[in-house]
Structure 1
Amino acid sequence: MPVASAPHHASAGNLAAVPEPLAGNGLTVPVLVAPEVARAQSGGAPVVALESTLLAHGLPRPGNLEVARRIEAVVRACGAVPATIAVLDGVVRVGLDDAALERVCAEQGLSKLGVRDLPVALALGRSGATTVSSTALLATRAGIAVFATGGLGGVHRGGGYDESADLRALAELSLVVVCAGVKSILDVEATLERLESSSVTLLGYRTDRFPGFYLNDSGFGLDWRVETAAEVADVFALGRALGDGAVVVANPLPEPEQVEPALHDRV
């Protein structure tokens, strides 16, 4: 959309993504969109993308399956359709039925797929769980503009070049990413600096503090705060009119649910 045609006040409906076909250079990426997700998209209903690496690699079995079902139930209870994303047998799956969800949660040795791994897994017919970066890429290509996750990757402590591919994805892809901060093992200050230098828009949802994943305050402040989903939608719509890049919405844990700060720091 040209800058001149951007609306003065965008509505929440502007969170609908502009679909980009899963095709290029004469090749079509094998993709299976779940019927529930396809119906929602064709009817203009909201869809929320969810990653699968948390389920396959971040949580212990068999409790990970219960968590997966609870996460999807929360999305539905809020009036949206969940689209958990994974690659199974060389096919991108946008939305998983219960059998596929069980497989992602139970299968041993499931690969962890970042953006660089996707073409290999697809070409060789492999299966894997998608990280934040690859989930964001596949979600945008499938026309999904909202992605919810727990913690983002970022800059590791100790300096050097150990940085998550999530940072590049956030700089290049246009979608809303709702999270509780960056993972606790990371250098929060360096990650925030990198997001700033990459022109990634960062909003605090009803907070002026950047959350710390397990903590509701990482110790760092935020420049911008929003109070409603409609305000997020306005920011996203106008940001997309100006160019590419994600809008990261930092949504902290309620204070009673955070890990006790002293215990967190010891661990």
Structure 2
Amino acid sequence: MKSYLELHPEVEQALQEGRPVVALESTIISHGMPYPENVQTAREVEAIIREQGAVPATIGIMNGKIKIGLSDEELEAFGSSKDVMKVSRRDLPYVVSQQKNGATTVAATMIGAQLAGISVFVTGGLGGVHREGEVTMDISADLTELAQTSVAVVCAGAKSILDIGRTLEYLETQGVPVIGYRTDDFPAFYTRKSGYGVDCRLDSPEETAALLKAKWDLGLAGGLVIANPVPEADALDEQEMEANIERALSEAKQLGIKGKDVTPFLLGKMKEITQGRSLVTNIALVKHNALVGAQIAKEYARLK
């Protein structure tokens, strides 16, 4: 595995000592936000995790190596480069074998985290079943990864652009627990509520870490969704966002945008339509997830 993985010295030492480590994805840097806000956010998120007593490990692929933890210069490279591929499970063998650069999605970051021995991963929003997914069969690999890869994903629910009801049904079928962190309503990325419930509500890092330990101690492989709503002060209006999303989806359909190009296009349209407010919300929720994820990771490391 050493020929494929490259651990940052800080991350490697923390793992050897049993200290808490939090995985972070790189797609949010390369494909989820514009430059330079993406790099600034990545640095601030790592700082939040360190303030909570955990070690951040941003995961990405450089020259075919799956890097577990990036230097400041490497964060800058992911944020400013235009030739970084978006890498999910299916893309990993190609990008690694051909020694290319790639930003890892939720699915690929989970794989890298598990290979390195990291149990908690913080992201913005989860991928899922796209609207009209019953026709297009457009379902994110994030969902199947959660069914088989034993990493807890702290997120602000699923992205509002998705069919959240079908996404939750898919997760239920795959046996993936959906935990509401201090909420009974599954959040929808930009908004605190989706109108759908969660499997259970937990209100502390201690309770959440205990559930992670119980799941994996019982031999129940696979991940968990820890749905952490965007802070109320930063949330957008649900009805307004739904109208914006319908408008953006219609435009994507007219332009023939499909597959993995849909999400970056829609996020960009949301920023344009909301005059930048959606980007502010996106940054706020990622930071809040980092805070909560680091607290959970710290408690889970103590339990282990």
Q: Tell me, yes or no, if the aligned pair for 2:4 and 2:64 is still in contact at 8 Å.
A: yes
Which of the residues 32, 38, 41 maps onto 1:67? 41
1:103 aligns to 2:77 (yes or no)? yes
Structure having the larger proportion of residues in strand: 1
Where structure 2 has 5 or more consecutive residues not aligned to the other structure, the ranges are 245-304
- Counterpart residue identity of residue 260, structure 1: D
Q: Is residue 78 from structure 1 mapped to residue 55 from structure 2 by the alignment?
A: no
Aligned to 1:182, which of 133, 158, 164? 158
Contact 1:110 1:128 in 2 (8 A): yes
Q: What's 1:235 paired with? A: 211
User: Structure 1-normalised TM-score?
Assistant: 0.88
Deviation, 1:32, is 1.1
Q: Pick the aligned partner of 1:203 from 179, 194, 217.
A: 179
- Asked if the contact 1:175/1:236 (under 8 Å) is kept, the reply is no
2:157 aligned counterpart, secondary structure: coil
Coordinate RMSD, CA, aligned:
1.1
Cα displacement (A) at 1:228: 1.2
CA shift, 1:29, in A, is 4.2
Amino acid at match of 1:65: V
Question: C-alpha separation between the residues in 1 aligned to 2:17 and 2:216?
Answer: 22
Task: Give the unaligned 5+ runs of structure 1.
Answer: 1-21, 23-27
CA–CA distance in structure 2, aligned partners of residues 211 and 241 of structure 1: 28
Q: 1:88, CA displacement in angstroms? A: 0.2
d(CA) in 2 for partners of 1:210, 1:67: 25
How do 1:24-39 and structure 2 match up within 5 A? 29-39=3-13
The residue type paired with residue 41 of structure 2 is V
**Which of residues 126, 135, 138 in structure 1 aligns to 2:112?**
138
Q: Which residue identity is paired with 1:217?
A: K
1:266 is aligned to 2:243: yes
**2:24 corresponds to:** 50
Q: Are positions 1:222 and 2:198 aligned together?
A: yes
2:153, 2:187 → 1: CA distance? Answer: 14
Q: Structure 1 residue 250 and structure 2 residue 198: aligned?
A: no
Distance in structure 2 (CA, Å) of the matches to 1:95 and 1:123:
20
- Answer whether contact 1:90 1:125 (CA < 8 A) is retained: yes
Structure 1 residue 130 displacement after superposition: 0.2
Q: Would you say the 8 A contact 2:177–2:199 is kept in 1?
A: no
Normalising by structure 2, report the TM-score. 0.77
More helix per residue: 1 or 2? 2
Taking the aligned partners of 2:194 and 2:232, their CA distance within structure 1 comes to: 12
Alignment partner, residue 212 of structure 1:
188
SS at 1:121's partner residue? helix
For 1:37 and 1:74, locate their aligned partners in 2 and report how far apart those are by CA, in whole Å. 16
Q: Residues 127-166 of structure 1 correspond to what in structure 2 (within 5 A)?
A: 127-158=101-132, 159-160=134-135, 161-166=137-142
